[in-house]
Amino acid sequence: MRKQDYNMNILIIGATSGIGHTLWKHYDSMGHCVIVIGRRKELLDNMGKESENTHPILCDISNITTFDMAWENIIHQYGRIDLAIVCAGIGELNLKLDVETELSTLSVNVIGWTNAVASIYGLFERQNFGHIVTITSIGGMQPTPIAPSYSASKSFQINYTKSLQHKSKGTNIVVTEIRPGLVDTRMAKGEGLFWVMPLEKVCHRIVKAIDNKQKRLIVTRRWRILNFLLKHLA
Ligand SMILES: NC(=O)c1ccc[n+]([C@@H]2O[C@H](COP(=O)([O-])OP(=O)(O)OC[C@H]3O[C@@H](n4cnc5c(N)ncnc54)[C@H](OP(=O)(O)O)[C@@H]3O)[C@@H](O)[C@H]2O)c1
């Protein structure tokens, strides 16, 4: 992967496992200062012990007060953020439409997510630069009866990211949407099990898209085809 010629301050929200964790390993190995957020303390502590470039912050983004306090501390301590990757998300199969499950999905994927993304965008406006990356899902392209709140929340994220892309036109702010199909993480268990892609391969593509400041990446090619069909034929 290409080496950056300067050290960035990178924030990864949802870095204790899966896509965020693999991206953390990549950016940490390049010597960048990486601030990582998640709810699992032990995993965060281990990441902090593994590397002096890594700065773990225990935070549940669905708790607005907790996130806002963590966010203020981040700004105070690090001054600027160059790249922010918002990976945090949950998704459960919910055939029975259990209301608690539906609401907890929305509280992370919509309420907490929006609070985090809007806070980051606001900082980038004040800095007059910055690159924000959202991880949405092909699942947001169609209604999914086995996981209604997940697909609806991802649809929300896709549209929200598009709005920010419009808003950022003519500024120094870059907004990238990563829209994966199924990826081999713990989340995939909640989404079905066909066409599951290797995590390393997906993250390699994501890093390339971030390096190139791409507007959107649908990973991988077969999911791009499905995304096209859903968009035009569904
Ligand atoms: N895997 C797939 O098939 C797939 C497909 C399309 C899109 N995606 C999207 O990719 C993103 C990453 O998921 P993944 O596949 O890498 O699964 P994952 O391993 O479950 O990662 C999710 C990450 O989000 C963090 N997180 C969840 N809720 C949080 C909260 N309330 N506050 C702070 N952090 C929170 C988790 O950390 P803690 O548990 O420590 O909080 C974890 O680090 C998600 O947005 C997911 O919707 C995944």
Q: Mean pLDDT throughout 41-69?
A: 98
Please give the distance, rounded to the nearest whole angstrom, from the Cα atom of residue 62 to the centre of ligand 1. 13
Residue 94 pLDDT grade (very low, low, confident, very high; cuts 50, 70, 90):
very high
CB 95 within 8 A of CB 48: no
Q: How far apart are CA 141 and CA 203, in angstroms?
A: 21
Q: pLDDT tens across 163-206, in order?
A: 999 999 999 999 999 999 989 999 886 555 678 899 999 999 99
Looking at per-residue confidence, does 171 or 221 come out higher? 171
Q: How far apart are CA 101 and CA 91, in angstroms?
A: 9
Residue 1 pLDDT grade (very low, low, confident, very high; cuts 50, 70, 90):
very low
Residue 2 pLDDT grade (very low, low, confident, very high; cuts 50, 70, 90):
very low
pTM, 2 dp: 0.95
130: left (phi over 0), alpha (psi -120 to 50) or beta: left
- Best residue for ligand 1 mutational test, from 138, 141, 187, 218 (most atoms within 8 Å of Cβ): 187
- Domains, the chain: 9-233 (3.40.50.720)
| Smallest CA separation from ligand 1 atom 42, residue | 14
| Residue 191 structure tokens | 């989404």
Q: Which H/E stretch holds residue 42? A: helix 41-50
What DSSP character marks residue 139? Answer: G
Using a 6 Å cutoff on CB, does residue 177 contact ligand 1? no
- Ligand 1 nearest atom to the CA of residue 15, by list position: 43
Using a 6 Å cutoff on CB, does residue 182 contact ligand 1? yes
Residue 232 pLDDT grade (very low, low, confident, very high; cuts 50, 70, 90):
confident
Q: How far apart are CA 220 and CA 232, in angstroms?
A: 18
Using a 6 Å cutoff on CB, does residue 153 contact ligand 1? no
Residue whose pair of structure tokens reads 């998300």 in the numeric block: 89
Instruction: Give the pLDDT score at 192.
Output: 52
Please give the distance, rounded to the nearest whole angstrom, from the Cα atom of residue 87 to the centre of ligand 1. 6
